[in-house]
Amino acid sequence: MSDRTLGVVIPAYQPDIELLDRYIEQINDRLDPTTILVELDAPTPETALAVRSLPVMVNAVPQRRGKGTAITAGFEKLETDLHIFADADGSTPVDSLADIVAPVRQHQAALAVGSRRHPDAEIADEQSLLRQFLGGGFSWLAGSLLPVTLHDYQCGAKVIDADAWEQVHEHLYEPGFAWDVELIAMAGALDLSITEVPVQWEDQPGSTVDPVADAARMFRALLTSRHRAKQLTDERLHSVIAAQTTQPTPLIEEVSEL
């Protein structure tokens, strides 16, 4: 059995406290992590107090940073060998989290990506037809444009080796839901080993994702991630474009100032 330590980051915005409490208990029992850190955005005083009563570390900030910024901030605080994030709604059950951790813990991959669309995935409750259509179309397009071909880029559970994180983190800019895609694209461009792990999954009500508005943002982010991945592989055209445009601030610099 590997003794590599595990740190868990849970990005949360208006979480269901009872559900989160159960999920944290299950994570502790099944994964035995060294650290569980809840990155809590824009909580009410009541929500902040309730989350702080749970057996976790909590970093609460007054503003809504977005999923990508919250996970990046959490990963930067971890001192463990492996870093995993899981969505606060518990859509990915802990047995599947354990499956995602296994290949990274066993040095079989630097990044393990949970997958709802893998042929071996088990879906307990499907998304709406619109979200299924948009998600499937996005995955197909991402597989066509990015250096990594997967069935699913956006499942809310991924594990990365701490050494791989040190290579990737300076290349991440997306503050919101597109962060997952950028992480995979940058890891692929850096030639890090990536594995896709089928999960059990259940769609949870109350998602903060707007399937139409966020689809447009995701498409723009996909093109940006492709451009940045091409830069990392020294493709001349993309390097020239980058040299002539103002570059945004990497997330690791932004979170260090928060």
pLDDT at 214 over 50: yes
Region 210-223: what's the mean pLDDT?
A: 73
Regarding predicted confidence, which is higher, 210 or 91?
91
Lowest mean pLDDT among 65-79, 123-137, 138-152: 123-137
State the Cα–Cα distance between residues 151 and 197, nearest whole angstrom: 10
Region 54-63: what's the mean pLDDT?
A: 97
State the Cα–Cα distance between residues 141 and 128, nearest whole angstrom: 20
| Rg of the chain (C-alpha set) | 17
Which residues have CB under 8 Å from 133's CB, separation 6+? none
Query: What confidence score (pLDDT) does residue 243 get?
Result: 63
Query: What confidence score (pLDDT) does residue 219 get?
Result: 83
Closest residue by Cα to residue 228 from 178, 180, 172: 172
Domain regions of the chain by residue span: 6-256
Q: What 3-state DSSP class applies to 10?
A: strand
pLDDT at 127 over 70: no
Beta strands 194-198 and 111-115 are: parallel
pLDDT digits (tens, 9 = 90+) for 150-207: 999 988 899 999 999 999 999 999 999 889 999 999 999 999 999 999 999 876 665 5
Region 236-254: what's the mean pLDDT?
A: 74
pLDDT at 133 over 60: no
Q: Supply the pTM of this predicted model.
A: 0.88
Region 51-80: what's the mean pLDDT?
A: 97
Q: Which two tokens stand for residue 166?
A: 């040190």
Mean pLDDT of the chain: 88
Query: What confidence score (pLDDT) does residue 125 get?
Result: 60
State the Cα–Cα distance between residues 111 and 88, nearest whole angstrom: 20
Query: What confidence score (pLDDT) does residue 1 get?
Result: 46
Region 208-218: what's the mean pLDDT?
A: 64
DSSP assignment of 148-159: S--S-S--SEEE
Region 108-126: what's the mean pLDDT?
A: 88
Instruction: Classify domain 6-256 at the CATH superfamily level.
Output: Spore Coat Polysaccharide Biosynthesis Protein SpsA; Chain A (3.90.550.10)
